[in-house]
Structure 1
Amino acid sequence: MQEVLLKAVANTETPNRFMVGDVKQSIYRFRQAKPELFLQKYNNYNDKKGSSHRKIMLYKNFRSREEVVDAVNYIFENIMNENIGEIEYTEKERLNLGANFNVDTDEKSIIGGATEIHLIQKDNKLDDDIINDKDDRINNKENEIEEEEKLDNIQLEARMVGNIIKDLMKVNEDGKIQKVYDKGIDGYRPVEFRDIVILLRATSAWAPVFADELMNMDIPTYADVGVGYFDTIEIKTILSLLQIIDNPMQDIPLISVLKSPIFGFTPEDLIDIRVQSKDKIFYEVLKSTAEYDGFTDSQNENESEFIPSEECINKSKDFLIKLKEFKEKSMYMSTDEFIWYLYTRTGYYAYVGALPGGSQRQANLKVLFERAKQFEETSLKGIFNFVNFIEKLKKSSSDMGSAKTLGENANVVRIMSIHKSKGLEFPVVICSAMGKNFNTQDFKKSILYHHNLGYGPQFVDYERRISFPSIAKEALKSKINIENLSEEMRVLYVAFTRAKEKLIITGSTRNIQDSIKRWSNGIESLDTISQYEILKGKNFLDWIMPCVLRHRDLSNLLEEVGLDAVFNVEHNSKWYGKLWNKNDILVEKKSDEEKESIEEILEKIDVNNPDSDYYGEIEEKLNYIYPYEFSTRKPATISVTEIKKIQNNYEEELINTIFEQKVILKKPLFIQNEEEREKISGTERGTIVHLVMEVLDLKNVSSVNDIKSQIRGFVSKGIITEKQASIVNPYKIYKFFASNIGKRMLNAEIINREKSIYAQVNMKDIYIYEKLINNDDKKLYDNESVMLRGYS
């Protein structure tokens, strides 16, 4: 469509189109992008000057360090060709070093370094590649298909990546540390979390697990997944709380809330409640537990005689009291006000802020509050309708990503998809999940379609009651497979070329020893990887590993699995490889039972023998008194009228006016008597005079009669009423304009009316009249100022 539109508006006789692109980075076939359109021009245009269809090759890469450029070239020289990749990776297409990095003279610095490959063996008991084909064909949506991955296998790789990041950021055995170039300081500094990005082919299943595991390892992380908002624990908890406030007869939301930090019921407490009666709904049993004072003879025979603990009874009572309070509040508060009330009343907003990723969790809660605000603007009201509204959002797949809380320089490790990383660059790039199989769901449809070759149906033999792929379908399958693999190859190219200074590749495989033997099979006799091996590849590792295992730097990987490295390739690229196992990553992972709670730590503290090194410092900070505390009770801005009140010893009246902000409600007209209706207050008098002065035509104020005439005109135009006009004194207005300042005003070229003005005044000049201030406070005022406001 874009090509058709551009052809329609561009010249044909004298071409005037200027196109810039790199077909190796065309990764949007799922959006109907056609690399062949670009390739057609690439092959037909020439590099001769003066040509009407000229091709200019931009050879140099100004982003990446030499180690990254060499590694990318080495991989794609071996795997990318015109058949798979749709372009030959020749001297014209390879990356050429153009970046110029400063030299670091510090001997303790590690700059750039070899491209790294880290592999970990999956748990053999967990087969994460078995997919139920029939269910996938029925249930999964096109372009949203994810291979089913067992959580433990994703966790293994995530923890391996966490260890890699920690190793990268700490001083090594030689006393050296990884550094990156920082333009801001025009020099090198130690690598930080914000310098690192983890790129994944697909994020929906992997990114949340990676983020959780890294945060559990004390690595601040942000995963840009675009979905999963309603699956976050904080949103689930608040929505469950809203559900039971509306209707507590729902067991699952009720138990979720009880077990949450808001009420703190333990599994043992929930068991104590449930065993009271197995027939009743949980809420009814909970009420019975709260009212428990020993079972009677009239008790139902199905009810247990198990006695709940006193703590469980007290928790149940507390829950019911709060639930009643919440129900009452929800009756007269708007939905958004009520949700914010829940955040503060339960302390849950502050609680999630103290968890790993606290700012992100709080931002998610704020988004729910904003959603409630938007909901209040509709005709629907109340908790019931709001909960239904959210449920409809979930069912319609209108889930949204977590709230965006990151600034450009937030010091966190970012996790994003390769597609979202396109056009970006990062000092350290970790390409993970390289062992995840390619998506082959396109081949499982009953009818295949290709935009050039047409349709390929499934053949159905009704007599024998069987079906099998037709020849046309097999032909389309082969064509689509090559196009998909070419797309995956370009995706890999985009991922690798995001790195500025260091590239790290990670992946998991079912059996490392067997996999390395398979990857190294036959590669000693070939200059490049065979096209058959590329077509047979099921994941990125099947392309990467046969290349790098031929390199002399990774001979250690072959030796670890008992193979001889007799076919080493000489190449400028530098590589480092490591094989991990579960024990390498589980040693530092503490179980929940080993983690001490804050309460347990506090119980161990001996308050009678405080730590002398810190006790004095802590006590000093806790007992600190702010020296300017008195000044904080004064307003930052003050009007001339308020200053006059202060100087007339009206301090108490002023404080009430400024700080208490009493609201005086005007009586409705229908209950005012005639005298009240006729009466005009002092404030209203001032407002009327200001209004008249604002709209007065200054070219016609040379006499009292002129001013009277204008005021009558204001009445006729409805600007003021007859009664309001009667309180305006035209003689005083005329007298003002006859004064020196009035004449200056009339002669001015530019006149601003009702414009706020501010002046900075020393605070001691205003509050020196206060009798409550001691001499020390007066000294503090010497350097304090207040803003004087007024209107002209």
Structure 2
Amino acid sequence: DVKQSIYKFRLARPEIFMEKYETYGKDGGERKRIDLHKNFRSRREVLDSVNFIFSRIMGRRLGGVEYDREAALYPGALYPDHDGGEECPVNDTEFLLVQKEAPETENGEGAENTAREQEETEKESPEDWGQTRRKGLSGRQREAYAAAKRIKELVGHFPVTDKATGKLRKASYKDIVILLRTNAGWDEDFKSILKEEGIPSHVLSKTGYFAAKEIRTILQLLRVLDNPGQDIPLFGVLKSCFGGFSDEEIAWIRGAEKERKKSLYDCLKDFGKENLPAVQENSPEKAGLRDKVKAFLHFLEEYRDKTVYMPIHELLQDIVTQTGYLNYVSALPGGGQRRANVQMLLEKAVDFEQTSYYGLFHFIRYMEQLEKYDVDYGEANILDENADVVRIMSIHKSKGLEFPICFVCGLGKKFNMQDINGKMIADVDMGIGVDYVDVERRLQGRTIRKNIIAEKMRLDNLGEELRILYVALTRAKEKLILTGLIDKPEKKLAMLIPAAMRPKDSQLLYGELAGAGSYLDFLLPALAVHPAFLSLMEAYGLEVPGQKTAAGMPGETERFEEAGRKTETEPENWNGKDARLEIKIIGDEYFMGTEVREQIMAEGLRKRLECSSPLTDADSELMTNMSNIFTWPYKHSNLAELYTKTTVSELKKAGQTEEQDFSFRLYEEENVIPYIPKFMKGEESLGGAGRGTAFHKVMELMDFREEAEPVEEQIKRMIQDGMLSTEYAQVLSVPSIQAFLSTNLARRMAAAGKKGCLYREQPFVLGLPAKELNEKFPDGELVLIQGIIDVYFEEEGEIVVADYKTDRVDDGKELVQKYQKQLEYYARALQQLTGKRVKERVIYSFRLHEEITL
């Protein structure tokens, strides 16, 4: 489908496909073309709308493809019929034109109304402030609100076809996508508006982390802890959940100071003093404010003290835990995403501490540099493919995907034509165009060649935009909704009257298409001949000579209803002449009505909560259901502690009591590691675990034969061959190894080695019944145990297993108590592995120079 070639910026060439399309014919021969006409994705209503639009705007001269009977889309997918009768929602395509906010009038009425609204807003309670935010919104935010309102109406009501069962079900958020021409500057506005409206959404982008409110708030707190003299971050913290101050309270604190040059932090400290006249002279509320200030200052001082000795990740963890910040952000709209963002900040703090920098000051500068140079992590990804959220993505990102309900938004955005405005432009066909520069006269201007190349590139870009629009509209499976921003709709509709007077099956003039600056410039003239558009003009008092609306045309309404009942597009209807469309202009009245409805619902809910009794039947039933949910017993609770895989070491610990476990301390204190500069540090030696690993490595490689080299020479050779590190060699005790070589165990191992029956560092995995490990575990469950046996050898057809220990003990009984269980599992694994009986289990202590037979 050449109409879906949308990667010209990656040097895609639709002309190549068109050459093939024209070279290969449909009538036999060696070069036969087979056209695939049917679309197996979308409902007929969607395809009719697409055919109606593109049969009027797409042609060979602009778009590269003639949208004719051969290029049109014909329905091939089978969808269940709606069985809800006349009241059942239909799949008509919707076109929502969002009107820009009305400007002030010339006589100043707008200014007076604005002042009056502002005065009323100041009298409103804080609960009402969120509703007034719709006033003064940007154009794209108004468009986002319109989309959010429509999404609320669709979710839970509009029927869509379930992919698994093929039957109708109610739409959910995951069935909806919002497509944008570009994410830059648009996706975050849409996401924030949807979040305010309680609609979960996800943006497929790698930006927005530092712009997230929960991240900005905690970074502001860190800046204040580092330097409280910064007024702007401190004001943000005071307004946040950490401070809880209102604008009025902060104004009282600032106004109590006569000296205007004082910082906000100094004003806070002065306001918190007991003898401050400004507090004593005022109402008791101001005295309560003083206590609030004192508590906040105590909070700041407490954490400023902690910044001296706490690592950054521990400081952040302490803040979010002690203040309940994680719970707070989780309770906000989109709480799961916000919580994941905060946890991601904790992870970044851990990563920061792996660098050579240290301390709060450097961490703040580190985050500021990331934000300055656009090294944005993107918000934490908490979604899987089945997450019930509205997806927001670019049209290019959506190519190849499909969604039951598709919003195509931002249709009023101007096309990006920056490529043709540079001092040097380049086209793959016409070459390079540059400006003319007269150095002597100091003049510069565009050359004819550059103008021709620029015009060719502009037309190519318009053709690309047409194909991009085609891709966007064909993503919808069952419902297509278009939205765009329009300014002065009366004037815009009046300009469309000449286009509405044309025949319904006529294409737009090439000059109209070539002069388009946005998708609306394509869509509005194309839809001007549709009866739904004529009804819209009539509503605005405009009359189209020679045309009648659907309501005024005899039999027109019946013809459209009959068209909606058809199951397949007829060949004569390839241009979608019976397409069902609904076109609306959404103005200030719509947003005001939405506010009023939401305020009424909020007030009704508040009164219902205030007047409700805990003893009513409804509340009792609700409490019973909630109680059952929270006390629901997990039927497999006996498996809660069951593990499917473990190690011999863990089982060894589990078999010990707390007194036997030498790693147990009743009041164990953390080791205090003093801060020592690197240039003063000496070489660090390996601990007990490292020493044990070194001995095990040498014993794995050691030659036990009598004619073998001395121990020192063998260790040197191991180091030279790269099999033993210098660090390990430094913690070895050569006399201890020499003492082992003189033992009876070493002689027996040497004898077995000559026969090829000596095995060292043998890994194993043993399956044991869970009931055998713990009486609480159920029958029939299997637990895998993995481990590595130090050494075992065959002797007279039976197995001897040995284990090396470097523990600092004074008596062999301690080793027996600690490792007897471990040797039992070794013996059991060897019996299953070799089929031979283990006749002897031996522990050798390098500390005691002693063999201990179990």
Secondary structure at 2:496's aligned position in 1? Answer: helix
Deviations 1:361-389 (A, max 9, x none): 22323333343344333333322222223
1:281 pairs with 2:281: no
Q: Distance in 2 between matches of 1:347 and 1:639?
A: 37
Find the partner of 1:356 among 328, 333, 347: 333
1:581 pairs with 2:587: yes
Cα 1:408–1:628, aligned 2, differ >3 Å: closer, same or farther?
closer
Q: Which residue of 2 aligns with 1:540?
A: 519
Amino acid at match of 1:753: E
Amino acid at match of 1:125: P
Q: Which residue of 1 aligns with 2:761?
A: 753
1:244 pairs with 2:224: yes
Q: Which residue of 2 aligns with 1:507?
A: 484
Q: CA deviation at 1:240?
A: 1.2
Q: Which residue of 1 aligns with 2:196?
A: 216
Secondary structure at 1:547's aligned position in 2? Answer: helix
1:417 pairs with 2:417: no
Q: CA deviation at 1:756?
A: 5.1
Q: Which moved more, 1:651-660 or 1:275-284?
A: 651-660
The alignment-based identity, stated in percent, is 32
1:180 pairs with 2:161: yes
Q: CA deviation at 1:211?
A: 1.7
Q: Distance in 2 between matches of 1:271 and 1:456?
A: 58
Find the partner of 2:249 among 269, 279, 282: 269
Q: Distance in 1 between matches of 2:786 and 2:489?
A: 75
Amino acid at match of 1:26: S
Contact 2:499 / 2:529 at 8 angstroms: preserved in 1? no
Q: RMSD in angstroms over aligned alpha carbons?
A: 5.0
Amino acid at match of 1:358: G
Q: Which residue of 1 aligns with 2:828?
A: none
Secondary structure at 2:42's aligned position in 1? Answer: coil
1:197 pairs with 2:210: no
Q: Distance in 2 between matches of 1:114 and 1:391?
A: 49
Q: Distance in 2 between matches of 1:476 and 1:260?
A: 55
1:531 pairs with 2:536: no
Deviations 1:443-483 (A, max 9, x none): 666776656264364899999x9998776665455434323
Q: CA deviation at 1:622?
A: 7.0
Q: CA deviation at 1:683?
A: 8.8
Q: CA deviation at 1:78?
A: 0.8
Cα 1:743–1:260, aligned 2, differ >3 Å: closer, same or farther?
farther
Q: CA deviation at 1:554?
A: 5.2
Q: Distance in 2 between matches of 1:382 and 1:541?
A: 54
Alignment of 1:44-55 (within 5 A): none
Deviations 1:484-530 (A, max 9, x none): 32222122112112222322212231233433333342433342222
Q: Distance in 1 between matches of 2:652 and 2:363?
A: 51
Contact 1:84 / 1:485 at 8 angstroms: preserved in 2? yes
Q: CA deviation at 1:544?
A: 1.6
Cα 1:686–1:735, aligned 2, differ >3 Å: closer, same or farther?
farther
Deviations 1:564-595 (A, max 9, x none): 64388974553221423333344344789996
Cα 1:474–1:245, aligned 2, differ >3 Å: closer, same or farther?
same
Deviations 1:600-623 (A, max 9, x none): 999988789995434566667778
Q: Distance in 1 between matches of 2:320 and 2:32?
A: 64
Q: CA deviation at 1:248?
A: 1.3
Q: CA deviation at 1:54?
A: 8.3
Q: Distance in 2 between matches of 1:41 and 1:551?
A: 35
Q: CA deviation at 1:61?
A: 3.6
Find the partner of 2:744 among 723, 731, 734: 731
Cα 1:555–1:745, aligned 2, differ >3 Å: closer, same or farther?
farther
Q: Distance in 1 between matches of 2:580 and 2:757?
A: 83
Cα 1:602–1:752, aligned 2, differ >3 Å: closer, same or farther?
farther
Find the partner of 1:164 among 150, 161, 168: 150
Q: CA deviation at 1:92?
A: 3.8
Contact 2:404 / 2:476 at 8 angstroms: preserved in 1? yes
1:67 pairs with 2:48: no
Q: Which runs of 5+ in 2 are unaligned?
A: 106-134, 551-555, 557-572, 675-685, 719-723, 725-731, 790-854
Alignment of 1:587-626 (within 5 A): 587-589=593-595, 611-615=619-623
Amino acid at match of 1:542: D
Contact 2:424 / 2:434 at 8 angstroms: preserved in 1? yes
Q: Which residue of 1 aligns with 2:99?
A: 121
Q: Which moved more, 1:278-287 or 1:208-217?
A: 208-217
Find the partner of 1:496 among 473, 485, 490: 473
Q: CA deviation at 1:332?
A: 3.1
Q: Which residue of 2 aligns with 1:318?
A: 295
Q: CA deviation at 1:349?
A: 2.6
Amino acid at match of 1:114: D
Cα 1:96–1:694, aligned 2, differ >3 Å: closer, same or farther?
farther
Q: Distance in 2 between matches of 1:596 and 1:504?
A: 32
Q: Distance in 2 between matches of 1:386 and 1:209?
A: 29
1:254 pairs with 2:267: no
Find the partner of 1:401 among 371, 378, 385: 378
Secondary structure at 2:479's aligned position in 1? Answer: strand
Q: Distance in 2 between matches of 1:726 and 1:224?
A: 65
Contact 2:499 / 2:528 at 8 angstroms: preserved in 1? no
Amino acid at match of 1:356: P
Contact 1:450 / 1:476 at 8 angstroms: preserved in 2? yes
Contact 1:72 / 1:497 at 8 angstroms: preserved in 2? yes
Q: Which residue of 2 aligns with 1:556?
A: 535
Cα 1:155–1:497, aligned 2, differ >3 Å: closer, same or farther?
same
Alignment of 1:746-785 (within 5 A): 746=757, 753-755=761-763, 757-762=765-770
Secondary structure at 1:653's aligned position in 2? Answer: coil
Contact 1:295 / 1:305 at 8 angstroms: preserved in 2? yes
Q: Distance in 2 between matches of 1:434 and 1:681?
A: 67
Contact 1:220 / 1:357 at 8 angstroms: preserved in 2? yes
Q: Distance in 1 between matches of 2:605 and 2:82?
A: 46
Cα 1:282–1:105, aligned 2, differ >3 Å: closer, same or farther?
closer
Deviations 1:197-217 (A, max 9, x none): 011123333322222222222
Alignment of 1:358-757 (within 5 A): 358-441=335-418, 452=430, 454-455=432-433, 457=435, 475=452, 478-526=455-503, 527-552=506-531, 555-562=534-541, 563=543, 565-566=547-548, 571=576, 573-579=578-584, 580-589=586-595, 611-615=619-623, 651-653=657-659, 657=663, 694-695=700-701, 717=717, 721-726=733-738, 728=740, 730-732=743-745, 746=757, 753-755=761-763, 757=765
Q: Distance in 2 between matches of 1:28 and 1:324?
A: 57
Q: Distance in 1 between matches of 2:381 and 2:748?
A: 61
Q: CA deviation at 1:629?
A: 9.0
Deviations 1:29-49 (A, max 9, x none): 445555456556655677798
Q: Which residue of 1 aligns with 2:835?
A: none
Q: CA deviation at 1:257?
A: 1.2
Q: Distance in 2 between matches of 1:276 and 1:316?
A: 13
Secondary structure at 1:420's aligned position in 2? Answer: helix
TM-score by length of structure 1 reads: 0.73
Q: CA deviation at 1:179?
A: 1.5
Cα 1:54–1:339, aligned 2, differ >3 Å: closer, same or farther?
farther
Contact 1:126 / 1:150 at 8 angstroms: preserved in 2? no
TM-score by length of structure 2 reads: 0.69
Secondary structure at 1:508's aligned position in 2? Answer: strand
